[in-house]
Amino acid sequence: MKAKTMKWLSCIMNTMLVGLLVTIFVLVMTNISTGGSPSIFGQELKVVYSGSMEPEIQTGSIIGINQNYDVRNLAEQDIIMFQEEEGTYVTHRIIEVINNDGQLMFRTKGDNNNAADSNAVLPDNIYGQYSGLHVPYIGYVMDFANSNIGLMILLVVPGLWLIVWSVKTIISAYREEKQSHQPDQPSLNEHAS
């Protein structure tokens, strides 16, 4: 019974490790091939670093941002990512669409903030529209995987673990096979008579 349980645990561990390696490999290769902006299903994946949109979007989540949107179709309650200042992007909800003589502007607010953002967002500053794709806490892993030490730990360590686990499984199977093919040795009591 114990041997069967260990084999099942071994199989589950190996499957999880291979799945983890494949997932990390795909994320890293997507980052490399897109210049640091991974995407899935046509959505660019971005990490959320603040809690201004909680509880809908938690800090550390990855979200999908659709860059193929029509600014004229944006409406109240839509969530957009926009550039607040050079190198700083914010994801907030549109609370008002302003049409000032044909010039569209959007008043935004984080769901968890007490007040609206101080400046209206111009269409040129909008990076994309939130698609609804949201995976909590994976953003921390994605950021860690993009660092040099993270890449090493997330690819090399599970790879080494998988190799060690596989070698251990092979040795164990070899020993079981060897024991099953050895003839039974007579006991000492049988020779004494």
Tell me the catalytic residues. 50
Q: Give the span between the Cα atoms of 168 and 191, in whole angstroms.
A: 38
CB atoms within 10 A of CB 95: 14
Q: Give the span between the Cα atoms of 26 and 39, in whole angstroms.
A: 11
Kindly state the tokens that stand for 49: 């670093």
Q: Give the span between the Cα atoms of 156 and 160, in whole angstroms.
A: 6
Of 44, 60, 32, the residue nearest 138 (C-alpha): 60
| Beta strand extents in 35-161 (DSSP E only) | 39-40, 43-47, 62-66, 79-85, 88-100, 103-109, 126-135
CB atoms within 10 A of CB 19: 10
